[in-house]
Structure formats: C-alpha cells, structure tokens
Copies of this chain bind each other. A is one copy, B any other.
Amino acid sequence: MVLNTQEHTSKRYDAELETVRSRVLQMGGLVESQISSAINALSTGNVQLADQVIADDDRVNALEVQIDEDCSHIIARRQPAAQDLRMVIMVIKMITDLERIGDEAEKIARMTKLIYSSERLTLPRFTEVKIAAGYAIDMLKKSLDAFARIDLAAAASVVRQDRLLDDQFRGILRQLITFMMEDARTISTSIEILFVAKALERIGDHAKNMAEYVVYLVKGKDVRHVTEEEFEREASSD
C-alpha cells in the first residue's frame, strides 16, 4: 500500500516534470513563430502582422509566469535532487532567455512599423537580414531540440553557429555604413535596420545561453564562461 502510494506520487512527479518540459517547448515554438512573423512583416511591409507580433508578446510572457510557478511548485513540493534539480533550475533560466527572445521579436516588429511609417526612400534589400534571421531561428530550434532530447551534439552546434551569426551581423553593419555614406537620407532607416540586426544577434546569444544550460544539465558542469574549444570538449566527452 505504502509502496503503491509512493509509486503513484513518483508518477505524478514525473508527470509534473514532463508538463514543465512540454510547456517550455510550447513557449519555444511560440517564440520561434514570433521571430518568423516579425521578419516576414519586415520584408513584406506587412504592418498588421507586426501589430500581431506585438500583441502576441503577452502570450509569451504569460507562459513564462506559468512555468516559473510550475517550477516553484515542484521545488517546494517535490524537493528535487541532483539531475531533477538541475533540470528545474535550468528551466527557470531558460524561460528567461525565451522571454527575452520574445522581446527581441517584438522590437523587430516595432522597428518594422517605424520603417514603414516614414516616407520610404530606397530601402536596402533585406537579403542579408533574412540570412541572419535564418541563423537565429535555426539556433533557437537546435537549442530547444538539445533541451528536448538532451542532445549535447546539438548544443555544441548552436555554440558554433553563433559565430556565423556574429559574422553575418558585422557584414550587415558594414553594408549599412556604406549605404549611409552614399546617401545621408537613408541614415534613419539604416539605423532602424541595424537595430533589427542587433535584435537577431541577441536572439543568437540567448539561444547560445540555452544550449549551455543543456550541457550544465548533463554534466553538472558550468560551461557558460569557457572557451569554445573547452565547450566542445565537455560536450563530446563521456
């Protein structure tokens, strides 16, 4: 009887952990679609879609609050130890990053509205920005995958990809500077586009943070402040 109760308790505990895990993935999916929509709004000039992204940030925030409460509840009631505890602490940190990725998507949507509200001079094509957005979204997806499957190789690839995104950002910056120097009337819009690129770079940083938490979860070792080489070594060692 006692054993049964314990088993039941343990099953409910497992179910609670599973709920938290799936809510994190749900939040990740929502945030991912927020970035896609924001970039879509930017490249097509769809201001209504930008408004939608801004409005939907509330849903991201609500999920953060919900998951935070779930985690507090688990800590208070289940007294998790070892890997379970690391998982819960990781989730508390991860959702902060996810929420801020949501904020960056909202910023891109706000910039889009600004860009299309002023008289449109020649707009630079958004090819390079879209490439950066592709990297950022891919990094986010991979870090969520790394979390869902506790996949260290996926985590390591996010860290590598962050360098590509940073290079892409610097490329956009150089391009925009040239653009501004050639025609001073494009300065305001160029700076708004620069802020979009900066938001994408930040999204990459947040995805990288999340990937690092996965390594912490598995190894119990903190890899947040090590070199890329050390990270690779940790992620690939048994």
Contacts and interface: CB of A to CB of B under 8 A. Distances in A.
A194 B191 CA distance: 10
A225 to B, nearest CB: 4
How many identical subunits does the complex contain?
A: 2
Interface in A49-91: 58, 61-62, 64-65, 68, 71-72, 75-76, 79-82, 85-86, 89
For the side of the interface on A, what is the size category? 20 to 34
Contacts of A180: 180, 184, 187
Contact of A79 (B64, B79, B173, B188): B79
A222 B69 CA distance: 10
A85 B58 contact: no
B72 A224 contact: no
A225 B58 contact: yes
Nearest to A84: B76
B177 A68 contact: no
Interface of A: 58, 61-62, 64-65, 68, 71-72, 75-76, 79-82, 85-86, 89, 92-93, 96, 173, 177, 180-181, 184, 187-188, 191, 194, 198, 222, 224-225
Contact of A61 (B79, B81, B224): B224
Nearest to A71: B89
Given A65-B222, A65-B225, A187-B187, 18 more contacts: A61-B225, A64-B225, A65-B224, A68-B222, A71-B89, A72-B86, A72-B89, A75-B89, A76-B82, A89-B92, A92-B92, A173-B191, A177-B188, A177-B191, A180-B184, A180-B187, A181-B184, A181-B187
